[in-house]
Amino acid sequence: EDKVVQSPLSLVVHEGDTVTLNCSYEVTNFRSLLWYKQEKKAPTFLFMLTSSGIEKKSGRLSSILDKKELSSILNITATQTGDSAIYLCAVVNDYKLSFGAGTTVTVRA
Amino acid sequence: GAGVSQTPSNKVTEKGKYVELRCDPISGHTALYWYRQSLGQGPEFLIYFQGTGAADDSGLPNDRFFAVRPEGSVSTLKIQRTERGDSAVYLCASSLLAGGLYTGELFFGEGSRLTVL
C-alpha cells in the first residue's frame, strides 16, 4: 500500500520566519510528487516534482525532491499570515494521487 | 464551467438515510476523481473515472458507496444507509486526461461537507 508521511503535523511561527515541511513516501511506480495548499476546502496546486535534485521555486516558496531518500521538502521564507494553511504532499502512482495527512502551518502576526 | 462545481456544499442527514453528492467537472475534462477528507487527515482516494467508466474504484470503503458518471461529465456519489463514520468532506477533482495529472493539472472542487447525525 502506498504511504505518504508528512512532518511535522503542525507548527506555529511568527511573520518573517522560515519554515521547512517534510514529506517522505513509499510508493510503487512513482511518477511525481505534488505539493498543495489547502486553506478552506479545495486544495490548490503549488508544485510538481519529477526529477531529483531540481528545485522548483515560486516567490517565497520552493521545493526539492530527493528520490534516493524518497522524500521532499517545501520551504517558505519570510512567512506571512496569508501562508497559514494546511500543506499537503501527494505522490502520483500512475493516474492516482495518494496524500499525506498534511502539515498545518499557523503564522502569527 | 470555470471550475469544478460540487453540490450541496453542506449536507446534514440522519443515520440510515440515503445521500447523493454531485460533481460537475471542468468542461472537457475526461478524468474525474472522488476523494474523502476527514478532519485532520489528507484526502483519501475513493474512485476514478476515465470517461463514463470507473477505471479504479478500489478506494470505495464498502458496498454502501457507489458512483456513476453516465454521460462522461457530471458524476454522482451515492451513499446508502449512512453511518456516523461517513461524516467527512467529499472532494471531487478533474483533469483533462489521466496523463494531464503528470503536469499537476488536477483541479479540485470546494467539496461537499457531509454530517451524519
* Successive 10-residue mean pLDDT values, chain B, 117 residues: 90 97 94 94 94 91 96 96 97 81 78 97
* A-B C-beta contacts closer than 8 Å: 64
- What integer pLDDT is reported at residue B100 of this predicted model? 60
Task: Decide if A13 contacts A79 (C-beta within 8 A).
Answer: yes
- What integer pLDDT is reported at residue B1 of this predicted model? 53
Task: Decide if A25 contacts A91 (C-beta within 8 A).
Answer: yes
- What integer pLDDT is reported at residue B28 of this predicted model? 87
- Interface check B1 vs A, CB under 8 A: no
Of A41, A48, A95, the CB nearest to B103: A48
Tell me if residue B66 falls in helix, strand or coil: strand
Q: Does the beta-carbon distance from B48 to A95 stay under 8 Å?
A: yes
Residues of chain B found within 8 Å of residue A92, distances taken between Cβ atoms: 101-102
- What integer pLDDT is reported at residue A94 of this predicted model? 76
Please check the confidence at residue A87 and state whether its pLDDT lies above 80.
yes
- What integer pLDDT is reported at residue B47 of this predicted model? 96
- Interface check B96 vs A, CB under 8 A: no
Mean pLDDT of chain A: 93
- Compute chain A's Rg from CA coordinates: 13
- Residue B16 makes CB contacts below 8 A (sequence gap 6+) with B81, B82
- What integer pLDDT is reported at residue A52 of this predicted model? 82
Q: Does the beta-carbon distance from B42 to A90 stay under 8 Å?
A: yes
- What integer pLDDT is reported at residue A3 of this predicted model? 92
Q: Does the beta-carbon distance from B111 to A42 stay under 8 Å?
A: yes
% of chain A with per-residue pLDDT over 90? 77
Read off the pLDDT of residues A21-65 as tens digits, 9 standing for 90 and up. 999 999 888 888 999 999 987 899 999 998 888 889 999 999 999
- What integer pLDDT is reported at residue A24 of this predicted model? 97
- Ramachandran angles phi, psi of A53, nearest 5°: 85, 0
